[in-house]
Every structure is written in structure tokens, then in C-alpha cells.
Amino acid sequence: MDKMNMNKHISGKFNEELEAVRNRVLSMGGLVEKQLQDALLAIQKGDADLAEKVLSSDHKVNKLEVQIDEECVHIIAKRQPAASDLRLVIAIIKTIADLERIGDEAERIAKVAKESFNNDQQQLLVSLENLGQQVLSMLHKVLDAFARMDLESAYDVHQQDEQADRQYEALTRQLMTYMMEDSRSIPKIMNVLWSARSLERIGDRCQNIAEYIIFFVKGKDVRHVSPESMERTVMGKKD
């Protein structure tokens, strides 16, 4: 909390509003992380009931996004925040949008768990699980980085996306090969392929959130910059 300079405001009410909205983001992040965790577990165990639980919980995430968005608009209109306070509100608005989309991707993954797969196809689900655990780890770490506004942790998550992309590409090649060898498997394997794509997108969303954290801490937009420029921004002096 020290990094957010929450104690600098004359208005104690403003402090409370910022803290409340920040806690709601963390609650939303916890729900989304649980969604992804349950979706991956449902695939691993072939648990249709758990998959249905993921699908039915999506409305909670959507509701939180709307509530947090409204609170941020209220803060901007009433408090007219400047400098780091404004960056924090902007980072929150962007973060909840990505969290909502991660929830949507988890929902798509859960739908695959309701499918039945033969023994040969189960091995492909193991490969999907490996990618899933990598992405789940990224999500957990970036939420922790957001909670502490930890620049170094955010940068680490940003770097991890490259590894997730490599896993996704390898899995895609494996799935394409399997479909060419057994054309009857194409409908089922396409579902696994779309799930892998959802996981890759979740990794991208985690990378986005990491960029919002860097934006808040450093006051610089690091989207679409070179790796060298990103490193200079992170390793340089804070604002």
C-alpha cells in the first residue's frame, strides 16, 4: 500500500474509495482464477458437473466488472484524480476488462470438459493441462503483482508469456498432426485446439495486466514497445 501513496490524500474518504475499488478488483481476480482452475480440473477429471459450475459462475464476474467500472467513473467524476491516482484508476478499468475476458475464455475451456474423449485423445488433454498450468501460474502471479503493485513481479509475468506462446505453438502442431492421422478425430480435436487458443489468449491478458501495473508504477505506456525499451523502463528510476 505504501507504493500507492494512499496516505497522501487530504480526504480520508478518497483513501477509502480507492482501497475499496482495489479490493473489488482482487475479489474479481480471485473469482476468475478459480474459474480457470476449475475449468482445467474439469478437463483433467472429465468432470461435467465442475465444468457446469464454471459456466454458471460467469455472471458473478460480469456483475463485478460493471460495479467496479461504475465506481471508477464515480471517482473520476467526483474526485478528479490526477497523477498516480488517475493512473491507478485507469489501470483498474483496463485490468477488469481483461479479467472479464479471461473469465470468458475459462468458460470456453470448461465446455470442452463436457465432451468425451477416447484413451488416445486423453494424451492430448495432458498436453493441454501443461499449458493450462503455465497460464494459471501467470494469472496467479500477475494478480499478486497487482495486489502489491510490484514492478519486478509484473515484469517477470510479462516475460513468461513468451514461454506460454512456445507451448501453445508446440501443442498446435501436435493437434494438427493427430487430426491428419485420424480424420474421425477432427471435431473433438478442434475443441481441444480452441481450448489451447483460449489459454494462449489468457496468457496475453496476463501480459496486458502486467503492462498496466508498469504503467501505474512508472507512468509510462509500455504497450507495443521493444523488449529493450521495456527493460529500460522497468529497470530505470521510478517517477
**136 near 150, Cβ under 8 Å?**
no
∠ CA 169-175-180, rounded to 5°? 130
Average pLDDT, rounded, for the chain: 89
Give the pLDDT band (50/70/90) at residue 119: low
Arithmetic mean of pLDDT, 185-200? 90
pLDDT at 22: 93
Reported as a single tens digit per residue, the pLDDT across 9-48 is 446 788 888 889 999 999 999 999 999 999 999 988 888 8
Complete DSSP assignment for 138-186:
HHHHHHHHHHHT-HHHHHHHHHHHHHHHHHHHHHHHHHHHHHHH-GGGH
Arithmetic mean of pLDDT, 79-103? 94
**217 near 202, Cβ under 8 Å?**
no
Distance CA(123)–CA(114), nearest Å, equals 17
Over pLDDT 70: what percentage of the chain? 92
Distance CA(133)–CA(182), nearest Å, equals 28
Least confident of 87-101, 136-150, 176-190: 176-190
Give the pLDDT band (50/70/90) at residue 120: low
**39 near 110, Cβ under 8 Å?**
yes
Give the pLDDT band (50/70/90) at residue 7: very low
Arithmetic mean of pLDDT, 161-187? 90
pLDDT at 142: 98
Tell me 187's DSSP state. H
Domains and their CATH numbers in the chain: 2-235 (1.20.58.220)
